[in-house]
Amino acid sequence: MSLTLNWSIKRITTKFEFKIARSAESYYDVVILELSDGDNIGYGEAAPCKRYEVGPEAVLGMLTDKKDQILTLSIEDHENRQSALEQLFPDSYSLQAALDTAFWDLYGKQTGIALWRTFGAQQKMVLSSYTIGISDLSVIPAKIEEAAPYPILKIKLGTDYDHDIMRAIRAETDKVLRVDVNEGWKTLDDAKRGAEWLAQENVEFLEQPMPADQLDDIAKLREFSPLPLVADENSVRPEDIPGLVGAYDGINIKLMKCGGLTNARKMVDLSQKHEFDIMLGCMVETSIGISAMSQLGSFARWLDLDGNVLLSNDPYQGVGNDSGTIMLSDLPGLGVSPR
């Protein structure tokens, strides 16, 4: 049976404005794909991140231009399909991810198997964190209250009022915190001071403390830092991983950076080979993207798969999130359906 592909833009809104060191948004436009063989639909999602690539309108243009080539790609030869996607769409990792995910979902439905089983993963995994974006100090109590069910919080820093943010958070909660600076500390001295300070605040690790192009400084910081360092903006694609040895302790893998599940699985293997701790993360995404990455959840030491629970209008349902516990089903493929 020949394949058909449909796409649409969906606007997803966050419960709170989502602000990090370099951007602030209260909604995101994501591109949703439906790849059909006539009997089954494979779902995929592109949540383009401005840090890395073009926006959703450009993604639609690429889909229109290359639709015929897409429909000739293999459903079961994942490696060759991924190579072809990288050649077809070198400027959009999120579109690669959306298509790779849709093909994997269709493959899972045709074979009747949940993808986590196909990937050799386990159903049980560690708790996911819940993200607290940057905001005015006055909003922090409401955010901490919204996050009440979640035992682990991930805090966005990298501002000129980081100490005030932490003080406001610590006035509300003594939960374990993870800190993501999103490249916000620009000098080694600032980063050293930050790492030393946060080590006294019951913080578990420090994510991307400095700009990705200051890798030498990050390696120096690691020699000094009492906290483990996790790469994110530095760990985009599989080929980035070997070069991070010595500069980081952990690798944050995201579908929208690496181009999909095929490459994410590859990054898991490479991280293990180079003895990095594995973190699985996300952009602000619907339950399609989150359910896809959750299939690899058991490989991770740290999970940050909360993009869907930050939303007020997730159009899909897939994996459950019960107070940070992500629950994979035995449904074939991603286990995702429209709400």
Q: Which residues bind Mg ion (CB under 5 A)?
A: 180, 207, 232
Q: Minimum distance between the CB of residue 183 and Mg ion, rounded to whole angstroms?
A: 9
- Which single residue brings its beta carbon nearest to Mg ion? 232
Query: How do strand 316-317 and strand 337-338 relate by DSSP bridges?
Result: antiparallel
Q: Minimum distance between the CB of residue 8 and Mg ion, rounded to whole angstroms?
A: 28
Nearer to Mg ion, 162 or 180 (CB): 180
Helix H or strand E encompassing 78: helix 78-88
Q: Minimum distance between the CB of residue 208 and Mg ion, rounded to whole angstroms?
A: 5
Nearer to Mg ion, 238 or 307 (CB): 307
What is d(CA 107, CA 149) in angstroms, rounded to the nearest whole number?
Answer: 35
The number of beta carbons lying within 10 Å of the beta carbon of residue 85 is 27
Nearer to Mg ion, 179 or 268 (CB): 179
Q: Minimum distance between the CB of residue 165 and Mg ion, rounded to whole angstroms?
A: 16
Nearer to Mg ion, 45 or 232 (CB): 232
What is d(CA 329, CA 214) in angstroms, rounded to the nearest whole number?
Answer: 41
Which residues, in sequence order, are CB contacts of 8 under 8 Å at separation 6+?
A: 31, 32
Measured in degrees and rounded to the nearest 5, phi and psi for residue 251 equal -125, 125
> Strand, helix or coil at 37?
coil
Nearer to Mg ion, 73 or 244 (CB): 244
Nearer to Mg ion, 45 or 183 (CB): 183
Q: Minimum distance between the CB of residue 109 and Mg ion, rounded to whole angstroms?
A: 32
The torsion of the CA quartet 182, 183, 188, 192, rounded to 10 degrees, works out to 0
Q: Minimum distance between the CB of residue 280 and Mg ion, rounded to whole angstroms?
A: 12
HSE-CB of 14 using CA atoms within 13 angstroms: 22
The number of beta carbons lying within 10 Å of the beta carbon of residue 282 is 25
The number of beta carbons lying within 10 Å of the beta carbon of residue 224 is 11
Nearer to Mg ion, 232 or 249 (CB): 232
Answer whether 225's CB lies under 8 Å from 253's CB: no
Q: Minimum distance between the CB of residue 180 and Mg ion, rounded to whole angstroms?
A: 4
